[in-house]
Each structure stands twice: as structure tokens, then as C-alpha cells.
Amino acid sequence: MSHHPEIRVAFDAGCTLAESPVWDAANRRLLFADIPAGTIHAFSPASGEHRQWRFDRPVGSFGLARSGRLVVAVGGDVVLFDPATGTRVLLATVEADFPRLRLNDGKVGPDGAFWVGTIHDVESAKREPIAALFRVDRHGTVRRMIEGLKVSNGLAWSPDGRQMFHSDSAGPWIDRWDFDPATGDIAHRTRIATPSNEEGRPDGGACDAEGHYWSSGVSAGCLNRYAADGRLLARIPLPVPAPTMPCFAGEGLRTLYVSSLRRSPEAPAPSGAILELDPGVAGAEVALFDDDLP
């Protein structure tokens, strides 16, 4: 990518920590969370319509389910939420040690399960490697997949579903794993990047249709596009100091939305807003949670 695309503010909901943007193609709307507010927002780009739903604890992340429900990381639990009726059903308690550890970045994998990690939710300098990455299936079965983390983040899968990308924002590092879409098994961990603060510590991630990995550089106000082997292909500066997660959306998944963090009430606009840009490449499809029980 040899040019810097035009970047626009798509929507500003006044979030403190906007995260987990998810494109709802069936309803042609962008969903995203404000983590500390425990809120999921829905924004329709074509009409400007805005809805929101509140939860009683922080919403770390969520994904779309086949049934039309959302699979949501709330505090230490994963719940199934129906936006149409407001019904909430506990699927699994993943982290019993909430609030010391809370659920953070999560995404539905090619295996139809919800992958979600935890964060040691204390002051940055005091974080210990006691967080983990989990896999939660439609039956509520929880598997601990990766241990020794501080801030599990950056989940994304290659277009063929055979590679998983995952990061630790406090590592800081980005890893690539071999992934089995049939079983959800992971193997052959490979560290592809260890970005500095100046280069952009990794936050949320997404994959494009070419198999490259986009990482929000939360410490450097940029988006980093990496090849699967870790080569930096592009760095795009953004008009916010702390972007949190990219999401491919729209027709053909050719629009990129980026959520952001407002570190303080005095942070300059558009901190905390959702940005929009043309990435010059389509995104990889994100799977749906397999909640169609017999």
C-alpha cells in the first residue's frame, strides 16, 4: 500500500473504550462495544440509525451467531443475547476470578466456537502473566488453549481458516498458529512480530482476503499491516492516538472500520469514535457462532 487512504469519522457514540467492531451483514450494520460501560452499540451506515443494549458488567467482546443472537463476553461469563427480544442465556462461566481477571478480546473462529481471552485487569505495570485464551463451544464446554498471558488480544483467522493470529498487548508480541477448522486444535506457534511502543503495541486484529494481518497499534496511533511471516507491509497513521480494533465491513467487505479509545475526558476528538477508510483490499469473512442446537 503506497498511499495513505482518506480517513473519516463514521460514528461517535461518546465511548470511553470502543472495541470489538463486528459487521452484521444480514442487517447491514456495524456493532461495537464500549467495554467499561457494558454497552453494545449498533450503527447503520446507510440510515444513521443507532441502537444500544446495556449489560451489568464490562462487555469485552462478542460475535454473531447463526441464530441471529450474539455470543457475548460479559465480565467473566459468556452469554447468548438476542437483540430482538433482549433475552440473555448464560452459556459458560469462563473466568471465575472476575474482576481481577475479566474477558477481553474475542472472536468466532472457523470452527464455529467463540474464542475469547482474559486480561489481568490491574494497573499496567502490575500485570502478571496469569491470563489465558479459551475456546467456548455451543454446548458451553470451555477449553483453555493458551496460558501465560497478560492481555490476550488480536484474534483473527486467515481466509482459508488454517492460520490463527493472536497477540498479547503487554508482551508485546503477535503469534501465528496452525489451526484446524474441524476441531479447533492449534499447533506450531510462531512469533511473527514484537512491535515496540513507537511501532504500535498490538491491540485488536483482522485478516484481509490476501491473508495479511491488520493490527491496531494502540500505543502509536496507527494501523500495521503484516504479512503472515511478520513482514511489515504498511503502516497507516490515524487521527486518534489509540486505535483498538479494525473490522472489514460493507459491500464485499471492502470498507475498514476502526474503533478507538479515549484515554481521558480531555482527549482530543475523535478519540473514542469509530473511524472509516478504504483499505484497498477486501477482508476475510468472520465465521458465525454455531448455536443451532438440535
State pLDDT tens for residues 207-239.
Answer: 999 999 999 999 999 999 999 999 999 999 999
Residue type, 258: V
Domain range 7-277, CATH class: mainly beta
pLDDT score, position 293: 56
In this prediction, residues 250-270 reach a mean pLDDT of: 94
Q: How far apart are CA 61 and CA 272, in angstroms?
A: 16
CA nearest to 61, candidates 4, 99, 118, 112:
118
Quote the pTM value.
0.97
**213, three cell numbers:** 494481518
Assign 294 a pLDDT band (cuts: 50, 70, 90): very low
User: Chain-wide mean pLDDT for the chain?
Assistant: 96
Cα of 183 vs its chain's centroid, Å: 22
pLDDT score, position 292: 74
In this prediction, residues 48-76 reach a mean pLDDT of: 98
pLDDT score, position 133: 98
In this prediction, residues 65-73 reach a mean pLDDT of: 97
pLDDT score, position 265: 84
State yes or no: pLDDT of 1 exceeds 90: no
State yes or no: pLDDT of 149 exceeds 80: yes
State yes or no: pLDDT of 30 exceeds 50: yes
pLDDT score, position 165: 99
State yes or no: pLDDT of 182 exceeds 60: yes
pLDDT score, position 268: 83
State yes or no: pLDDT of 141 exceeds 60: yes
pLDDT score, position 3: 59
Q: How far apart are CA 53 and CA 55, in angstroms?
A: 7
**120, three cell numbers:** 489481568
- For residues 52 and 279, is the Cβ–Cβ distance under 8 A? no
Residue pointed to by grid coordinates 456495524:
30
In this prediction, residues 167-193 reach a mean pLDDT of: 98
State yes or no: pLDDT of 246 exceeds 80: yes
pLDDT score, position 2: 46
Q: How far apart are CA 282 and CA 211, in angstroms?
A: 10
Q: How far apart are CA 19 and CA 238, in angstroms?
A: 16
Residue pointed to by grid coordinates 480531555:
266
